[in-house]
């Protein structure tokens, strides 16, 4: 059987590239994914969290916006999660007071950094994220976080639909199993945005700082 790479060649996989005004979007780096024994525990997310501080610091040093998201349900019995919590009741852990809903210590938002609270997979669905990015003239959304097959993919698809250039940093996203992780990175890179290494992302962030094209 033909490989996926050969099958897609010449049809999918065009590069979208970085624009002139990036922001870093750090999606749902919550303790639910990094505490061993928790239902959502994902070894790939543990690895991504370990890689992410260098990327986040590069964005802070460059003065580009760093935006964090977290899933948090506020209604009784997580009713604001709608059908998603019916399909995936494990998400009901994402409530105030549950340690699993807290940010991982290594990647906590800094003072003044925007935190978007969401109830669904995409960072854009039901939030003001797109409006805030457009208001700041952002054209490129660099993504780190979790999970690759869930909130990263959903956010990348919505980002391109809202007119942004989605850039997913391979080293800084993770999932609970390598198969969905790799499959979704392949699909994102083929159809919706660019998947790049941390080194490439940091180099592009440095260009934004210096004003180089």
User: Helix axis angle, 178-191 relative to 153-161, nearest 10°?
Assistant: 10
Residue 193 lies in a domain: yes
Residue 189: pLDDT band by 50, 70, 90 thresholds? very high
How far apart (Å, rounded) are the C-alpha atoms in residues 179 and 80? 30
Residue 9 lies inside a defined structural domain of this protein: no
Q: Specify the pLDDT at position 16.
A: 96
CA distance 183 to 103: 26
Provide the domain limits for residue 30: 19-208
Any bridge partners for residue 140, and if so which? 22, 165
| Helix (H) or strand (E) run with residue 188 in it | helix 178-191
Return the pLDDT at 178. Answer: 97
- Catalytic-role residue among 104, 146, 151, 172: 151
Q: What is the band of 1 on the pLDDT scale with cuts at 50, 70, 90? A: confident
Residue 7 lies in a domain: no
Does any domain span residue 72?
A: yes
Say if 199 falls within a structural domain: yes
Q: What are phi and psi of 156, to 5 degrees?
A: -65, -45
| Position 172 in a domain | yes
- Could you give the number of structural domains in the chain? 1
- 78 catalytic, yes or no? no
Q: Please tell me the pTM assigned to this model.
A: 0.94
Average pLDDT over residues 99-124: 97
Residue 45 placed within a domain = yes
Rounded CA separation 88/85 (Å): 5
CATH number for the domain spanning 66: value is: 3.40.50.850
Query: pLDDT tens across 134-185, in order?
Result: 999 999 999 999 999 999 999 999 999 999 999 999 999 999 999 999 999 9
- pLDDT of residue 212 exceeding 70, the answer is no
pLDDT band at 9 (very low <50, low <70, confident <90, very high): confident
Establish if 196 belongs to a structural domain: yes
């Amino acid at each position: 059987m033909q490989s996926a790479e050969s099958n897609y060649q010449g049809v999918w996989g065009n590069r979208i590239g970085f624009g002139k005004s990036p922001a870093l979007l750090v999606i749902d780096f919550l303790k639910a994914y990094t505490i061993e024994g928790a239902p959502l525990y994902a070894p790939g997310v543990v690895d991504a969290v370990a890689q992410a501080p260098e990327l986040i610091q590069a964005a802070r040093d460059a003065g580009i916006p760093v935006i964090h998201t977290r899933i948090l349900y506020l209604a009784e019995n997580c009713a604001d999660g709608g059908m998603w919590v019916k399909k995936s009741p494990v998400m009901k852990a994402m409530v105030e007071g549950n340690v699993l809903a807290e940010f991982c210590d290594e990647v906590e938002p800094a003072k003044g950094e925007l935190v978007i609270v969401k109830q669904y997979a995409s960072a854009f669905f039901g939030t003001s994220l797109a409006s805030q990015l457009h208001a700041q003239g952002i054209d490129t959304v660099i993504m780190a976080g979790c999970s690759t097959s869930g909130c990263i993919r959903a956010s990348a698809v919505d980002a391109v639909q809202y007119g942004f250039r989605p850039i997913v940093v391979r080293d800084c996203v993770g999932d609970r199993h390598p198969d969905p992780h790799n499959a979704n990175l392949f699909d994102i890179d083929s159809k919706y945005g660019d998947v790049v290494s941390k080194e490439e992302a940091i180099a592009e962030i440095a260009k934004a700082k210096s004003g180089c094209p």
